Every structure is written in C-alpha cells, then in structure tokens.
Structure 1
Amino acid sequence: MKTITKPFITIGRFIRQTIDELRKVVTPSVREWAGWIVGVFVFVLLLMALVTGMDFGLGKLVLHIFG
C-alpha cells in the first residue's frame, strides 16, 4: 500500500494538472453549437414520432383484441 507522505505536494500537483488540462479546452463556435442544436432537435422529433406511433399502434391493437 502506497502512503502519501506529502499531501500538500500531491494536492498542489493535482491542482496544477487540472489547470493545465482546463487550458486545453476549446469553446465550440456558434456554427458548431447550431449544428448540435439542430441534431438534437431532429433526434428528439424522431423519437417523439416513434413513441407516438407505437402508442397509437398498440392502442389500436389492444382495442382490437379486447374492444
């Protein structure tokens, strides 16, 4: 088992590495944001259509069987 003999050095190294990684982060452009928004919107619409179709179809099936 590894023991930490210098916790403040370890914490300092962690904070330094975290800041270095955060400097590498690139903010998306407006065009990239728009592309992601459109993609998510289309996906949600397709999922809504699928769920609506399944609900309608299964509702008709249940009414046909038990109606």
Structure 2
Amino acid sequence: MADKTAQNVESLGFFARIIQFVKQVISELKKVIWPTFREWKTYLLVVLVFVGAIMLYTGLLDLFFGWLSVLVFG
C-alpha cells in the first residue's frame, strides 16, 4: 500500500507536489481547534508573566555577579 502512494507522489510533477502539499496543509489547518479570545488573552498573560519573571531573575543574577566581580577584582 505504501509503495503505491510513494509511486503516485513520485509520478507527480514538481508543481503538482507543491499544490498537493498546500492542499494537505489547508486540510490539516481546518482540523485545528483555535482558542477563543478569552483563552488567547489568558495564554498571552501567562507568557508575559513568565517572560517578566525570567527577565527579573536574569537581571538579579547580572547585578549579583557584577557586584561580585567588583568586590573580587576591585
């Protein structure tokens, strides 16, 4: 069964394969369950809070190691 599918794909021309790929992508995108606006806002808020926390953590580490290097190297 897989051999027939492989032969059919190989027999298609270059542009026919591109068109087939785009059709398959559109078909798969129709199956996606997109988030509602409320879910989208929640996800956005979670990402922004997480990025802010990582920025704060990295900034504090930078300040600490900067202070430590001044202390050690004068």
**Which one has the bigger helix percentage?**
2
Fold shared by both chains (TM-score > 0.5): yes
Aligned-pair identity (%): 33
Across the aligned residues of Structure 1 and Structure 2, the Cα RMSD in angstroms comes to 2.2
Write the distance in 1 (CA, Å) between the matches of 2:25 and 2:55.
40
Give aligned pairs, total.
Answer: 64
Once the two structures are superposed, the pairs formed by residues 22-41 of structure 1 within 5 Å of their partners are 22-41=29-48
By relative contact order (CA 8 Å, sep 6+), the higher-ranking structure is 2
The aligned amino acid for 1:49 is L
TM-score by length of 1: 0.73
| Structure 2 gap ranges (5+) | 1-5
